[in-house]
């Protein structure tokens, strides 16, 4: 569910701390499917319509920022990401093509565009679910931002320098299959951002319970907390780590066990 992914990203996630006993991340399930069977309350069309409305407001400069259909008075900057975008562009003759996997209708594009508009070339390629792709093509495509249904469709038209996976990997059914598909492209850089890890050798599958302040109803979704070793071993097959960073300074809790959101940039190994 690509478009739900941003619940874990600031500033929205701060709200979850207010509901730590009833809401947040709970359980330890054997499979994603087992967790999914216990989830409820997600209304895709309702959320999509809200995001279309707030993205229009950002596009028309009526509000500063939106995430998941919620409007904000100021832009919530992701400085590790912005620095990475500028660094990669600077090594590529001030040209930048990004794949934003699960990028909604352009939240991260609009967040960073004021600092990238000077580039000689900027292409922001969003891969999303079909309803979001259709809405994006109809309402928001322009010379910079394009929408695609899958990696293959996007790669047929573009030569990206960065594959961005921001607060997305932990929500999809088969995250390691996605990483395999990404690595097969040999895109020069891969960035994982807003990832929650556990300290074990195996992944933990939880259910994230979201308060009704977001969607008007109580909602819940499966959510991975990855084994750091497993993720790194997978990426090391074709990539080397350039650097790690803390994506959010705040501590959050999975049934009283603390974690911080982390990120990392990976550079493709020479063939």
With beta carbons less than 8 A apart as the criterion, state whether 191 and 84 touch. Answer: yes
DSSP structural state of residue 2 = G
With beta carbons less than 8 A apart as the criterion, state whether 73 and 113 touch. Answer: no
Distance CA 43, CA 48 (A): 9
- Give residue 1's pLDDT: 47
DSSP structural state of residue 269 = P
Is the model's pTM score more than 0.85? yes
Residue 29 pLDDT exceeds 90: yes
Q: In what order do the strands lie in the sheet with 24-29?
A: 197-198, 219-227, 204-210, 24-29, 252-254, 257-259
Query: Tens digits of per-residue pLDDT, 51-73?
Result: 899 998 999 999 999 887 788 89
- The better pLDDT of the pair 203, 249 is held by 203
Instruction: Give the residue-averaged pLDDT of 80-109.
Output: 97
Query: Tens digits of per-residue pLDDT, 111-150?
Result: 999 999 999 999 999 999 999 999 999 999 999 999 999 9
What DSSP assignment string belongs to 136-175? Answer: HHHHT--SSEEEESSHHHHHTT---SEEEEES-GGGSS-H
The DSSP bridge partners found for residue 145 are 124
Cis peptide before 169 (omega within 30 of 0): no
The DSSP bridge partners found for residue 32 are none
Instruction: Give the residue-averaged pLDDT of 80-95.
Output: 97
Instruction: Characterize 252-270 residue by residue with b for buried, 16 or more Cβ atoms within 10 angstroms of its Cβ, and e for exposed.
Output: bebeeeebebbbbbbeeee
Distance CA 164, CA 98 (A): 7
Q: Which domains does the chain have, with CATH numbers?
A: 2-268 (3.40.50.150)
Instruction: Give the residue-averaged pLDDT of 7-35.
Output: 69
């Amino acid at each position: 569910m690509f478009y739900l992914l941003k619940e874990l990203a600031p500033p929205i996630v701060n709200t979850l701390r207010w509901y730590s006993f009833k809401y947040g991340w709970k359980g330890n399930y054997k499979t994603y499917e087992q967790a999914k069977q216990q989830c409820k309350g997600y209304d895709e069309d309702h959320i999509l319509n809200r995001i279309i409305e707030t993205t229009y407001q950002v596009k028309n400069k009526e509000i500063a920022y939106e995430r998941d259909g919620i409007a904000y008075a100021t832009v919530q900057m992701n400085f590790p990401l912005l620095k990475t975008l500028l660094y990669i562009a600077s090594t590529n003759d001030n040209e930048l093509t990004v794949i934003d996997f699960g990028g909604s209708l352009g939240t991260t594009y609009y967040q960073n565009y004021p600092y990238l508009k000077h580039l000689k070339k900027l292409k922001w390629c969003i891969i999303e679910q079909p309803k979001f792709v259709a809405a994006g093509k109809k309402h928001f495509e322009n010379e910079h931002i394009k929408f695609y249904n899958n990696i293959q469709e996007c790669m047929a038209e573009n030569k990206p320098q960065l594959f961005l996976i921001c607060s997305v990997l932990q929500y999809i059914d088969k995250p390691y299959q996605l990483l395999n598909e990404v690595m097969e492209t040999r895109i020069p850089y891969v960035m994982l951002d807003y990832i929650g890890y556990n300290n074990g050798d195996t992944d933990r599958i939880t259910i994230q319970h979201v308060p009704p302040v977001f969607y008007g109803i109580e909602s819940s979704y499966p959510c991975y907390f990855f084994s750091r070793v497993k993720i790194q071993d997978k990426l090391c097959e074709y990539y080397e780590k350039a650097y790690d960073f803390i994506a959010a300074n705040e501590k959050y809790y999975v049934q009283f066990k603390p974690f911080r959101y982390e990120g990392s940039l990976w550079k493709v190994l020479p063939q």
